[in-house]
């Protein structure tokens, strides 16, 4: 039996959608797609995979949602090797999650990325689930990070009467708070102090238009403000 609690992570429109070309790909077709992709990559550059196998020097670390509709490389128009990617449900940067912490540490300390991007998206099932004040079992500890964002910004959010607007704003505020969580890290503060990078950016992807929205967070101000308490450069 599927865990019915997971249904809360599936957007309502996805549950009611009719079959589209997106779900027509068979398992076998994927390997044929792979063959065609190899051909397309080597057509104008015979050494494409030889160079790809050597090493990576991406300028970007992208932390995004696991949602299948938000493919990092594709929406950014970047090729393999150009962006280091970490994805989880609702793009959270949780200090006791070794997975995201390891990804950030590696990207910042060793790959020396110039930009760290936290990218959320409207219609995020994880954020929607967190907005419901109910017991969602195994999801509770993960969603609590988003509920904490709501608590931090309760006044602003409760003042928004339209529920879908409030939901969209929580998506944005969640991105903002996850950026703050990135800036709290010793690795990010120390690398920035020594090299002037990485800088941290918050984005939201709009599924309905395909547009990436830069929330234009003030990185220098956030860094300055949080260092009153979280200064980890010494």
Tell me the catalytic residues. 65, 67, 69, 121, 124
Q: Looking only at residues 27 through 86 of this chain, which bind Zn ion when binding is defined by CB under 5 A?
A: 65, 67
- Residue 159 has, within 13 A of its CA and on its CB side, a CA count of 4
Give the nearer residue to Zn ion in terms of CB position, either 14 or 138.
14
199 φ, ψ (degrees, to nearest 5): -100, 150
Pick between residue 83 and residue 124 the one whose CB is nearest to Zn ion: 124
- Total Cβ atoms within 10 A of residue 65: 26
Q: Long-range contacts: 68-77, Cβ < 8 Å, 24+?
A: 69/121, 69/207, 70/119, 70/121, 70/205, 70/207, 72/119, 75/205, 75/210, 75/212, 76/212
Kindly state the smallest distance separating residue 101's Cβ from Zn ion, in Å. Answer: 20
Report yes or no: 170 and 204 within 8 Å, Cβ to Cβ. Answer: no
9 near Zn ion, rule: CB under 5 A: no
Please select the residue that binds Zn ion; options are 124, 146, 173, 179, rule is CB under 5 A.
124
Count the residues of the shown chain that bind Zn ion, applying the rule CB under 5 A: 4
Stretch of residues binding Zn ion (CB under 5 A), selected from 1-9, 46-54, 122-130, 153-161:
122-130
Give the nearest distance from C-beta 67 to Zn ion in angstroms.
4
Stretch near Zn ion under the rule CB under 5 A, chosen from 13-21, 73-81, 100-108, 116-124 = 116-124
Q: Considering the complex, what minimum distance in angstroms separates the CB of residue 21 from Zn ion?
A: 22
What pairing do the DSSP bridges indicate for beta strands 115-121 and 83-88? Answer: unpaired
**Cβ of residue 151: shortest distance to Zn ion, in angstroms?**
20
Q: Report the residue number, 130 or 223, with the smaller CB distance to Zn ion.
A: 130
**Cβ density class 31-56: b for 16+ within 10 Å, e for less:** eeeeeeeeeeeeeeeeebeeeeeeee
By beta-carbon proximity to Zn ion, the closer residue of 100 and 124 is 124
**Where along the sequence are the contacts to Zn ion (CB under 5 A)?**
65, 67, 124, 126
């Amino acid at each position: 039996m599927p865990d019915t609690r997971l249904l809360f992570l599936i957007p309502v429109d996805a549950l009611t959608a009719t079959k589209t070309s997106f779900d027509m790909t068979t398992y076998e077709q994927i390997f044929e797609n792979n063959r065609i992709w190899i051909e397309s990559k080597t057509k104008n550059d015979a050494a494409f995979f030889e160079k790809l196998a050597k090493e990576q020097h991406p300028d970007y670390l992208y932390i995004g949602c696991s949602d299948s509709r938000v493919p990092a490389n594709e929406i950014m128009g970047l090729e393999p090797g150009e962006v280091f990617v970490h994805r989880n449900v609702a793009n959270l940067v949780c200090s006791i999650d070794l997975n995201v912490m390891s990804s950030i540490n590696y990207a910042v300390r060793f790959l020396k990325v110039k930009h760290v991007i936290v990218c959320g998206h409207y219609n995020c099932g994880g954020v929607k689930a967190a907005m419901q004040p109910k017991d969602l079992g195994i999801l509770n500890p993960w969603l609590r990070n988003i509920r904490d964002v709501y608590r931090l910004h309760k006044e602003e959010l409760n003042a928004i009467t339209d529920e879908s607007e409030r939901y969209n704003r929580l998506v944005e505020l969640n991105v903002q708070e996850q950026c703050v969580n990135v800036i709290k890290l010793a690795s990010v503060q120390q690398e920035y102090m020594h090299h002037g990078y990485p800088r941290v950016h918050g984005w939201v992807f709009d599924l309905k238009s395909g547009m990436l929205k830069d929330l234009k967070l003030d990185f220098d101000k956030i860094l300055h403000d949080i260092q009153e308490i979280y200064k980890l450069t010494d």
